[in-house]
Amino acid sequence: MLGSRKAGEKRHIRSMINQFLMEWDGLMTGTNAPFILLATNRPFDLDPAVLRRAPVQILLDVPTIKDRCGILGLLLKNEKLSRDIDPQILAKLTDKFTGSDLKNLCVMAATEAVSQQTEDTVDRVLTRRHFVEAMKTIKPVGLSKTLINEFEKFGQSGKHDEFHDED
């Protein structure tokens, strides 16, 4: 909704963004002011006027190994795991996986476990083999070098003080 305005773009889209920005400018400030939270996985595609109005920008990067271990612990807390599965080892094997990628990996491993059951039961035990099979299908989100550079620029830019309003 708040992507960069471009020449030749449909008038109603430009009008919608312009209206949103005018309303945002009209918001009061102080402790009773509304709180606006913007979230995107493509911050560099946002209109520069939107970025200027956002006083704080926080880049949430791909989870670290410690973060992935915690995420996997949460995702697998109600699962029965064989002795050959350890969330810390899985975290090491899932470099560049996002939280969503890890969830998909765990779902795929559980699906593998269910598909290999010989009898219909609610009990399942996830094994290393299930995760190995799941990792053949579930890969980390691939980012091009251009996108990686854009994320790095966004993470370094903070408040985007170098921009000038052109509305």
Q: Which two structure tokens, joined as six digits, stand for 106?
A: 């765990």
Instruction: Yes or no: say if 106 and 76 are a contact pair by the CB < 8 Å rule.
Output: yes
Residue 130: the pLDDT is: 93
**Cα separation of 113 and 127, whole Å?**
8
Which residues 6+ apart lie within 8 Å of 30 measured at CB? none
Alpha carbon distance 55, 124 (integer Å): 48
How far is Cα 56 from Cα 70, in angstroms, rounded to an integer?
Answer: 27
Domains of the chain: 11-60 (no CATH), 65-137 (1.10.8.60)
d(CA 4, CA 14): 9
**For 115, which DSSP code?**
H
pTM of this prediction?
0.63
Q: What was the pLDDT predicted at 92?
A: 92
Cα distance between residue 53 and residue 35, in whole Å: 12
- Which residue type occupies 86? D
- Residues near 110 by beta carbon (within 8 Å), at least 6 away in sequence: 79, 124, 126, 130
- Per-residue pLDDT of the chain (167 residues), as tens digits, is 777 777 777 777 778 888 888 888 877 777 888 888 888 777 778 888 888 888 787 777 789 999 999 999 999 999 999 998 888 999 999 988 989 999 999 999 999 998 887 787 777 889 999 999 999 999 887 666 666 666 666 666 654 443 333 43
How far is Cα 86 from Cα 34, in angstroms, rounded to an integer? 44
**CA 109 to centroid of chain Cα atoms:** 21
